[in-house]
A = this chain, B = another copy of it.
Amino acid sequence: MIRLFIANDLAAGAQVPLDAGQSRYLAAVMRLAVGDELLLFNGRDGEWRAAVASVGKRAVNLGVATLVRPQACGPDLELIVALVKRARLETIVEKAAELGAARVRLVITERTNADHARVERLQAIATEAAEQTGRLDVPEIVEPVKLERLIADWPAGRRLLFCDEAGDALPVLPALAGQPNGPWSVLIGPEGGFSPKERQVLRDLPFAVPATLGPRILRADTAAISALTLWQAALGDWRS
């Protein structure tokens, strides 16, 4: 069944007029007709069963019927990833949504050779992946900032799994053993790695846990998926 993320409030009996893009998708691409059912979520009110109430050329209206799943919070897991080439960044965002990240923060490091990203497009990719993976919210994509700014603004209580391809850190599972739950970020560097200075700064942070991702060199997208997977298995919602 089609799942659609919308901005509107959801409640039994609510009427939801879709915007032009979503109307076109349902009417022209998926060819839904009056009475056809789908699932809706907005990140706040849970997942609802709804049905097409009317189909116009540019305006589909839905009627909300019953609550299927109440809203539930996933873990406060954030992926911080250095800007990499567009195709790999898009893969990373899709996978972060599937793997339950609450947020993807883009970061500019010394060896990053890009300073902007198409955040709106990445947000659309995150939304589509969230619809398909069955989660009840959409990860937020945050505009890129420089690594030093990110560290300067670090919120109290949030821990950082720093995936460090060089050096002698423990593998992720032993590095996370005994660590508390709560807000965590996973940091993945650019394809060229962090500079020696950046590595030193990161390793000295009191909230950082350095860890390695095995004996081979991983591309940034592989590293992001592997690190999110291991975090979810060790401290997140893949435990039970």
Binding site for B on A (CB under 8 A): 91, 94-95, 98-100, 132-135, 171-173, 213-219, 222, 225-226, 229-230, 232-234, 237-240
Contact = CB atoms under 8 A, between A and B. Distances in A.
A77 B91 CA distance: 25
Contacts of A133: 216-218
Closest 4 CB pairs of A and B: A214-B238, A226-B229, A133-B216, A225-B225
A214 B100 contact: yes
B240 A229 contact: no
Contacts of A233: 171-173, 230, 233
B216 A134 contact: yes
B172 A132 contact: no
Contacts of A214: 99-100, 232, 237-238
Contacts of A216: 98-100, 133-135
A173 B225 CA distance: 16
Contacts of A135: 216
Nearest to A236: B214
A171 B239 CA distance: 6
A165 to B, nearest CB: 11
A200 to B, nearest CB: 24
Contacts of A234: 173
Task: Identify which of A133, A134, A232, A233 gathers the most chain B CB atoms within 10 Å of its CB.
Answer: A233
A170 to B, nearest CB: 9
Contacts of A222: 95, 98-99, 225
Contacts of A226: 99, 225-226, 229
Nearest to A133: B216
B134 A171 contact: no
26 contacts: A91-B91, A95-B225, A98-B217, A98-B219, A99-B214, A99-B216, A99-B218, A99-B222, A99-B226, A100-B215, A100-B216, A132-B219, A134-B217, A135-B216, A171-B233, A172-B233, A172-B238, A213-B238, A214-B232, A214-B238, A215-B237, A215-B238, A225-B225, A225-B226, A225-B229, A230-B230
